Amino acid sequence: MMTLGDIGRSSAPGQGSAPGDDSDEEGGQDMFAGGEKSGLAVENPNRPGQRGLDSVRNILKQAQEGTRARQEQQDDDDEDETPPSHFTGRGMTLGSDDAPSQLVEDPNSNIRRAPPKVTRNLYFWRDGFSVEDGPLMRYDDPAHQETLRGIEAGRAPLHLMNVLPGQPTDVNVHRKMDEDYVAPKKKFVPFSGSGQRLGAPTPGFDSAPVSSSASASAAVTAPAQPPPQTVTVDSSAPTTSLQIRLGDGTRLVSRFNHTHTVGDIYAFVNASNTASRSRNYVLQTTFPPKELKDMGQILKDAGLLNAVVVQKWT
């Protein structure tokens, strides 16, 4: 398996197959490159009749060309891997009548631990690409084309992959160029809202039963959640997709122009979610978390192009 960095390196001069080498491009077999720290699972990008954007084809082709080199590197790493130390942490020296016991600090206690490794899935559709179950990023959007060029060079925005700086990441690439993007269904949340703790009956007191008719009436009069509102978008101007994760677990996805403001996002949330109109909250980015309080700042200046925004109750 390969990282995005391996894709960038495979496109450098002297890397990958020679220009005239067609030995690996005529077959229809799928390719898999395995590695301990990162990876890509890819399909042959040169199947007859399969045509996509140049950047997409280059990403898949570069991953294919780096397969053998990555496998050899993994084998070398497995042979040279140093076994972990069996004893770590702090310790105490053995004392005596003349010298008391002393605490010995762990020499590795100040070494920064790397974040845990995660796996992300990158999908290439006929009309755009997506990460995990996120929104579609269209090929004809200039902002998304810039993202594709970054992936082709071995770079991807942290917010796009939803990872921390320096976090080990396995990226599985799925080619679905003969299918249109279909938004995933919202996950059903079986239990939500407030509840009542069950307690033992107190002697001498009668508990008042709740009638079924009252319960049915309350269910009927409960406010219904309004359908997600749409944002007025100028199709002739640059657009971007925003994913908004609400505090109750709901996920909203909408398109905005680069010139829409942070205040427009708040207005969209309030119009789409009943609870947001009755509770105080703040919207913030994911990694690193940053509260969005400047209502007049446009999305492009706020770094919110193709971003994920999280609602936090206050």
**Domain residues of the chain, as ranges?**
4-16+24-78+117-176, 239-313
- State pLDDT tens for residues 231-256: 888 988 999 999 999 988 888 999 99
- 166-212, pLDDT tens digit by residue? 778 787 888 888 999 988 877 665 655 666 555 544 444 444 454 44
What's the CATH architecture for 239-313?
Answer: Roll (3.10)
What mean pLDDT comes out for the span 7-22?
A: 48
Does residue 223 have a cis peptide bond before it, meaning omega lies within 30 degrees of 0?
Answer: no
> Binning pLDDT at 50, 70 and 90, where does residue 258 land?
very high
Q: Which residues of 246-262 are buried (b: 16+ CB within 10 A; e: fewer)?
A: bebebbbebbbbbebbb
Domain 4-16+24-78+117-176 matches domain 239-313 at the CATH topology level? no
The answer, yes or no, to whether residue 62 has pLDDT greater than 80, is no
Q: Which of 69-78, 152-161, 292-301 has the lowest mean pLDDT?
A: 69-78
Dihedral angle over CA of 164, 166, 170, 175, nearest 10: 70
Residue 111, pLDDT above cutoff 70: no
Among residues 308, 3, 306, which one has the least CA distance to residue 153? Answer: 3
CATH number for 4-16+24-78+117-176 (one of 1.10.10.10, 3.30.420.210, 3.30.1380.20, 3.30.450.40): it is 3.30.420.210
Where residue 204 falls (left for φ over 0; alpha for ψ -120 to 50; beta otherwise) is left
Q: What is the per-residue pLDDT for 221? A: 45
